[in-house]
């Protein structure tokens, strides 16, 4: 895992958006894996700006989102369908038929999850997957104890995740308890992964994921086994990394590396 630390969230988001743009410039029909939550909002804002300036075209892009709450209609203010539409899809030119988000309202979850997995393969696999990290170390909604080979499935959310996400809902009891999520194994098949984290609340999870042992208790730690993962962090999220100086040294001395 390559670690990049940025002074500000905005700089981190801008550089992450440039990574996405690089993928699209090399492969205009790339398949992108999308995340929701507060962390990637800056990346989406930047990608929209780049699109409006005519710098990137999404007309051949296909997307797969990581997850969706079970039980929320797609029009619900906190559904991930709505989040993606409001914050990204309605501002860019991805053909609607190329957009995939897990269904939180299907009548047959097992069949839907199998279909989602097949659909990713049929579209050629994910070229670049964006992931955030939960304060319990999850990627997507792969909560502690999730198999590191797990596939898309229905998952019970951890109490910590429900508490973390209660900030988006009117009442804590409105937070759904279940989600459909890509598995760790599904995410690990992406050709490139960008893990984003900002804020001190993520510092422990980031340190465990980047420098701790690979363990199902911190599913983001599985990314250590991925051959092409970059962690983009702001200073606060990086504040508990023991090897911080080493990462800066590596990036500074790497030929052609971005100067962070």
Catalytic residues, by residue number, are 67, 136, 138, 143
Min dist. Cβ of residue 228 to ligand F6R (A): 19
Q: How far apart are CA 15 and CA 231, in angstroms?
A: 12
Do 42 and 8 form a contact (C-beta atoms < 8 A)?
Answer: no
CB-based closest residue to ligand F6R? 132
Q: Which of 33, 37, 137, 183 binds ligand F6R (CB under 6 A)?
A: 37
Question: What does the DSSP 8-state code read for residue 158?
Answer: P
Stretch that binds ligand F6R, among 115-123, 138-146, 230-238, 250-258 (CB under 6 A): 138-146
Do 64 and 33 form a contact (C-beta atoms < 8 A)?
Answer: yes
Q: Which of 15, 36, 129, 219 binds ligand F6R (CB under 6 A)?
A: 36
Stretch that binds ligand F6R, among 4-12, 36-44, 52-60, 92-100 (CB under 6 A): 36-44
Count of positions (residues) in the chain:
260
Which H helix or E strand runs over 43?
helix 41-52
Residue 140 interacts with ligand F6R (CB under 6 A): yes or no: yes
Q: How far apart are CA 209 and CA 1, in angstroms?
A: 10
Site residue total, ligand F6R (CB under 6 A): 13
Q: How far apart are CA 187 and CA 25, in angstroms?
A: 22
Residue 137 interacts with ligand F6R (CB under 6 A): yes or no: no
Which two tokens mark 220?
A: 């983001």
Min dist. Cβ of residue 254 to ligand F6R (A): 27
Residue 51 interacts with ligand F6R (CB under 6 A): yes or no: no
Q: Which of 42, 104, 134, 137 binds ligand F6R (CB under 6 A)?
A: 134
Question: What does the DSSP 8-state code read for residue 56?
Answer: -
Q: How far apart are CA 102 and CA 219, in angstroms?
A: 20
Min dist. Cβ of residue 182 to ligand F6R (A): 8
User: Judged by CB, which is closer to ligand F6R: 82, or 250?
Assistant: 82
Could you give the strand order of the β-sheet that contains 31-34, starting from the edge strand earlier in sequence? 2-6, 229-234, 192-197, 128-131, 31-34, 62-65, 99-100
Stretch that binds ligand F6R, among 20-28, 55-63, 136-144, 170-178 (CB under 6 A): 136-144
Task: State the residues that interact with ligand F6R by CB under 6 A.
Answer: 35-39, 66-67, 132, 134, 138-141
């Amino acid at each position: 895992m390559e670690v990049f630390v940025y002074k500000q969230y905005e700089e981190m988001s801008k550089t992450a958006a440039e990574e996405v743009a690089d993928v699209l410039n090399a492969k205009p029909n790339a398949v992108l894996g999308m995340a929701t939550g507060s962390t990637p909002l800056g990346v989406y804002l930047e990608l929209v700006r780049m699109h409006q300036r005519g710098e990137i075209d999404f007309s051949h892009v296909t997307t797969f989102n990581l997850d969706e709450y079970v039980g929320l209609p797609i029009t619900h203010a906190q559904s991930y369908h709505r989040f993606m539409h409001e914050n990204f899809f309605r501002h860019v030119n991805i053909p609607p038929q190329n957009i995939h988000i897990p269904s939180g309202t299907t009548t047959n979850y097992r069949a839907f999850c199998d279909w989602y997995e097949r659909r990713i393969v049929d579209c050629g696999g994910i070229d670049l997957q964006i992931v955030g990290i939960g304060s319990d170390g999850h990627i997507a909604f792969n909560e502690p104890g999730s198999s590191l080979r797990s596939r898309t499935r229905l998952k019970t959310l951890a109490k910590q995740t429900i508490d973390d996400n209660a900030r988006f809902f009117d009442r804590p009891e409105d937070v759904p308890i279940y989600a459909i999520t890509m598995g760790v194994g599904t995410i690990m098949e992406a050709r490139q992964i960008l893990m984003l984290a900002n804020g001190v609340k993520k510092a422990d999870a980031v340190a465990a994921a980047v420098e701790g042992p690979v363990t199902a208790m911190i599913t983001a730690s599985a990314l250590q086994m991925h051959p092409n993962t970059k962690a983009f962090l702001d200073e606060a999220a990086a504040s508990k990394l023991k090897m911080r100086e080493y990462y800066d040294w590596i990036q500074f001395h790497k030929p052609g590396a971005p100067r962070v």
